[in-house]
Amino acid sequence: MGRRKLEMKRIEDKHSRQVTFSKRRLGLNNKARQLSVLCDVDVAVVVFSSCGNLYEYCSGSTESVDAMVSRYHKSCPQPEERPTQDTGISTRFKTCNELLQSVKRVDEEGKDVSMSDMTELEKELNAALMHTRSRKTQLMMERVSSLREQEKILSDENKELNRQLQVASAVNQYCSRPPQKLRALPLFKD
């Protein structure tokens, strides 16, 4: 008989959750080791439990997770850092998903969260919102500027085409006149 499909949701029983965490953490480390051996790659796994305990695994040519993390930071572009207007403190803008996961994690943990943590999270959300709005405004202004440049170019082309049309019309009008009869001027009077 096969296994039933496990529904992906938080395990409510604390003991069952801890057992599942331990088993899956070991399975994750096993898979990381297998990936490292089979594909000859460096692998690092960092896991924080709900209690805040750190579990790490590192394989490959590197000696520690710290070396892997520093290697990761060197290879990735650093996110923008800008001072917030209220505090002047420089913060790293998280993605929307990271912020939502932070809020969800705080909600799921169910433990008391200090007012300063909630205030800090609110500041991060406000800073991310301000950053998003400023970026949106910047993109809109760039788009308006490019459209104005295109408008100017098209207007200049339109003026040139109108000028060419007037010249062509004048030439056409001159060429389409019926030829005038030439009269002989009397040189001698009778």
Q: Is the pTM of this model over 0.75?
A: no
Domain housing 121: 79-177
Sequence-separated (6 or more) residues with CB below 8 Å from residue 64? 58
Average pLDDT, the chain: 78
Give the pLDDT confidence score for residue 188 in this predicted structure. Answer: 66
Give the pLDDT confidence score for residue 84 in this predicted structure. Answer: 41
Return phi, psi of residue 45, to 5°: -125, 130
Give the pLDDT confidence score for residue 83 in this predicted structure. Answer: 44
Q: Which of 76, 101, 124 is the last residue of a domain?
A: 76
Please check whether residues 138 and 107 belong to one and the same domain.
yes
Give the pLDDT confidence score for residue 152 in this predicted structure. Answer: 93
111-134 pLDDT, tens digit each: 666 777 778 777 887 877 788 888
7-8-13 Cα angle (round to 5): 85
Please check whether residues 71 and 101 belong to one and the same domain.
no
26-35 pLDDT, tens digit each: 999 999 999 9
Residue 6 has pLDDT above 90, yes or no: no
87 contacts 123 by C-beta, under 8 angstroms:
yes
Q: Which of 76, 102, 131 is the last residue of a domain?
A: 76
62-77 pLDDT, tens digit each: 677 888 888 877 877 6
Sequence-separated (6 or more) residues with CB below 8 Å from residue 71? 42, 62
Q: How far apart are the first and last CA of the chain?
A: 135
Of 96, 101, 98, 100, the closest CA to residue 135 belongs to: 96
Please check whether residues 96 and 169 belong to one and the same domain.
yes
The count of structural domains within the chain is 2
Residue 167, in any domain of the structure: yes
144-163 pLDDT, tens digit each: 888 889 999 999 999 999 99
Give the pLDDT confidence score for residue 163 in this predicted structure. Answer: 92
Please check whether residues 104 and 45 belong to one and the same domain.
no
Give the pLDDT confidence score for residue 30 in this predicted structure. Answer: 94
Burial class (CB in 10 A: 0-12, 13-18, 19+), 44: buried
CATH no. for residue 25? 3.40.1810.10
Residue 37, in any domain of the structure: yes
H helical segments located in 76-114: 96-109
CA gap 165, 157 in Å, rounded: 12
Residue 92 has pLDDT above 60, yes or no: no
